[in-house]
Amino acid sequence: MGKVRKKLKSFEDRRIGHDSGRFKQDINVYRWFAVFIKCGLELEGKTLSIRGKNYKLKFDTNHKWWKLIDLKSIKKTPKIIKSDYKSVPKSIDQLFNGMFMQKYRNLFNEKKTIIGEADILKDHTLMQIPENYPIKSILSDIRNWYSQKEVKLRVKKGRQKGETKGNTRGSADILLDLTNEEVMKRLFHTLRIDQSNPEFTNLDIYLNRTFTMNKKHIFKNGLTGIPKIVRTNMKGARDTRTTQTSRMDYDSEIRSTQRDIRYYKILLFNLSKGVFPKFDNLI
């Protein structure tokens, strides 16, 4: 007898948690949401420069998100913007699993079908379904019921107004866009290293960030570990005062790090206004 292939879960079913709540996005999206809220609170009141202009970071407490989430309680959790990364993962775990998700999980849950409860919840409609009633009949009844309402059942065809890739409408109290795990990780480490080491150059930030994310990374010239950047006299130069440095080998990495520094700052400012994660431009 051949091996029976396990049936894959639908997209909707993969988002159902142990409490039967359904998330719109992957769990890591909410983890980075919490992490960058914490980073923003640690830097709140600080002036950050973006493309030569200075902006003061401050959360808009009138926004819906920051009325639902207690920023003061998050601010009291252990710091995560540290030069030494050893204790940071534990602090993030305490923040996200120990407090954030326990307290705010319901804010990210999509509205769901309530089965076996007589109470009519706010923004819900009570439906009673006979046992052994065919699913096709249930769906037909619901469509027929919706057709008689003033607000018609919206059949989604393509992307709707106000929706972008990874940012579709939902019914949760707080809706977040889709994120890329590697990008979020890179921006977080860029932020952490940049803000905790003000004397670092962009190359220093790149080298330390890359090594933190991958201890086995092989740098230019086959070097492992964080390479030491030295200045040497240019061979054959008429003016012996003219120097070159191995920094020249990392020109593209320096430029990409400058971009990531700009991205994490934009991310924080947009987050403070109730949009996450958006880092291409300020809203």
Other beta carbons within 10 angstroms of residue 176's beta carbon come to 21
Higher per-residue pLDDT: 144 or 217: 217
199 lies in a domain? yes
Query: Is the sign of the CA dihedral 106, 109, 115, 118 positive or negative?
Result: positive
Number of folded domains in the chain?
1
User: Residue 66 corresponds to which tokens in the numbers above?
Assistant: 């920051």
Q: Are 88 and 80 in contact (CB under 8 A)?
A: yes
Least confident of 27-36, 132-141, 167-176, 220-229: 167-176
Q: Are 58 and 45 in contact (CB under 8 A)?
A: yes
pLDDT value of position 41: 98
User: For 128-155, what is the mean pLDDT?
Assistant: 72
140 lies in a domain? no
Q: Which of 264, 278, 280 has its CA nearest to residue 57?
A: 264
pLDDT value of position 166: 44
Question: Alpha-carbon distance 156 to 188, whole Å?
Answer: 35
User: For 107-123, what is the mean pLDDT?
Assistant: 68
68 lies in a domain? yes
Higher per-residue pLDDT: 160 or 80: 80
Higher per-residue pLDDT: 52 or 221: 52
Three-state secondary structure call for residue 49: strand
Q: What is the pLDDT of residues 244-267, one digit of tens each?
A: 457 888 999 999 999 999 999 999
17 lies in a domain? yes
Q: What is the pLDDT of residues 151-188, one digit of tens each?
A: 554 544 444 444 444 444 577 889 898 889 999 999 99
Higher per-residue pLDDT: 273 or 151: 273
Q: Which of 62, 57, 66, 58 has its CA nearest to residue 33?
A: 66
2 lies in a domain? no
Q: How confident is the model at residue 113 (pLDDT cuts 50, 70, 90)?
A: low
Least confident of 88-92, 154-158, 267-271: 154-158
Range of the domain at 107: 11-111+176-272
User: For 81-108, what is the mean pLDDT?
Assistant: 96
Residue 149 clears pLDDT 80, i.e. is over it: no
- The mean predicted confidence, pLDDT, of the chain is 82
246 lies in a domain? yes
pLDDT value of position 158: 47
Residue 103 clears pLDDT 50, i.e. is over it: yes
